[in-house]
Amino acid sequence: MPLPPLVGLIMGSYSDIKHLEETIMVFKEFAVPFEARALSAHRTPAEVARWATEAEKMGLKVLIAAAGGAAALPGVVAAHTLLPVIGVPIPTALMNGMDSLLSIAQMPAGVPVATMACGMGGARNAGLLAVQILALADPKLAEMLQVSRRQMAAKVIERDNVLQEKIRNEYKI
Ligand code: RP5
- How much is the average pLDDT of 150-159? 98
Ligand 1 atom with the smallest distance to the CA of 100 is: 6
Q: Is the pLDDT of residue 2 over 90?
A: no
pLDDT at 27: 98
Range of the domain at 162: 139-173
Candidate of 9, 11, 16, 44 to mutate for ligand 1, largest count of ligand atoms within 8 Å of Cβ:
16
Q: Is the pLDDT of residue 173 over 80?
A: no
Q: Is the pLDDT of residue 172 over 90?
A: no
Q: How far is the CA of 99 from the centre of ligand 1 (A)?
A: 12
In a domain, 83, yes or no: yes
Q: Is the pLDDT of residue 59 over 90?
A: yes
70/89 same-domain check: yes
82/146 same-domain check: no
14-55: pLDDT as tens digits: 999 999 999 999 999 999 999 999 999 999 999 999 999 999
Domain total of the chain: 2
146/113 same-domain check: no
- SS3 per-residue string spanning the chain: CCCCCCEEEEECCHHHHHHCHHHHHHHHHCCCCEEEEECCCCCCHHHHHHHHHHCCCCCCCEEEEEEECCCCHHHHHHHCCCCCEEEEEECCCCCCCHHHHHHHHCCCCCCCCEECCCCHHHHHHHHHHHHHHHHCCCHHHHHHHHHHHHHHHHHHHHHHHHHHHHHHHHCCC
121/74 same-domain check: yes
102/131 same-domain check: yes
* C-alpha–C-alpha distance, residues 63 and 65, integer Å: 6
128/164 same-domain check: no
In a domain, 2, yes or no: no
Ligand 1 atom with the smallest distance to the CA of 15 is: 12
Pocket of ligand 1 (CB under 6 A): 11-13, 15-16, 40, 67-69, 90
Write the residue with the smallest CA distance to atom 14 of ligand 1.
12
Q: How far is the CA of 32 from the centre of ligand 1 (A)?
A: 26
